[in-house]
Amino acid sequence: MANQPTHSELENRVAIVTGSGQNIGRGIALALARQGASVVVNGRSDVSKLEAVCEEIRALGAKALPVLADVSDPKAVQNMVDTAVAELGSVDIAVSNVGRRHHQPLLKITPDDWDSIIKSNLSSAFYLAHAALPHMQERKWGRIIHISGRDGFFVKENRAHNVTAKAGLHAFAKAIALEFGEHGVTANTVAPGLLDTSRDLDQYPDYANMVKKRVANMPARRIGEVDDIAEACSFLVSDRAGFITGQLLHVNGGEFMY
């Protein structure tokens, strides 16, 4: 879908998508660009990946700005938002997509391990919202999306820190929805199911068999694609979804029904 032309539903809107150099973040960045948004493409270390996604966005006729920033650092996030405002005019859409997923038994998790995962997976969403919301208030329009995951709602063993962060993302989205709804801001959570993405297989033992078993029991009978998540986000940031806020959308092929 990356080479499809843009349309203007998000014309004059500026989006920041964290962790958008690959996988889900890249898909969301391209989907928003196809709707006409200017997009800040963020990553922590590999600027070449960010530049490649920016080139894809520009080929669609939209503006793109690569910004290296460690989103677990509040000063780096504030600088990213300030750069977006200076270069592109505002921040109207903020998608928090960064997530680190480690398998560790609870008693093997050190305080440093805990703090590191909470900062990257949960606090990063607070830093981005805190920096972007004043601009959304000023323009009386804003969209915030947190990319969570099934771990936050269907608890998995040996991932206590990640489970806590993923659940906290939705609680935080609800808090934003309640406090900023009168300013035209919506905040929602998208929880992806099993997706075909690149990942650290050291954290996923026996991955191939796990995928086969889960797909066999999934009503959709297929593994999800990045575009499945990107299209859900495209809808939630549109004016068509202006009356949807504080909600959790599971995009999982029916594997888990809530």
Each residue of 4-24: pLDDT tens digit? 656 789 999 999 999 999 999
Q: Helix, strand or coil for residue 117?
A: helix
CA distance 88 to 200: 34
Reply yes or no on whether the pLDDT at 69 is more than 80: yes
**Nearest C-alpha neighbor of 125 from the set 90, 176, 53, 79:** 176
Each residue of 186-219: pLDDT tens digit? 999 999 999 987 765 565 567 788 888 989 999 9
Query: Secondary structure of 32-80 in the HEC alphabet?
Result: HHHCCCEEEEEECCCHHHHHHHHHHHHHCCCCEEEEECCCCCHHHHHHH
Reply yes or no on whether the pLDDT at 137 is more than 60: yes
157: Cα separation from own chain's centroid:
23
- Kindly report the average pLDDT of the chain as a whole number: 93
Reply yes or no on whether the pLDDT at 46 is more than 70: yes
Identity of the amino acid at 19:
G
Which tokens hold the place of 70? Answer: 């460690």
| pTM metric for this prediction | 0.93
Residue 65's CB is within 10 A of a number of other CB atoms, namely 20
Reply yes or no on whether the pLDDT at 116 is more than 90: yes
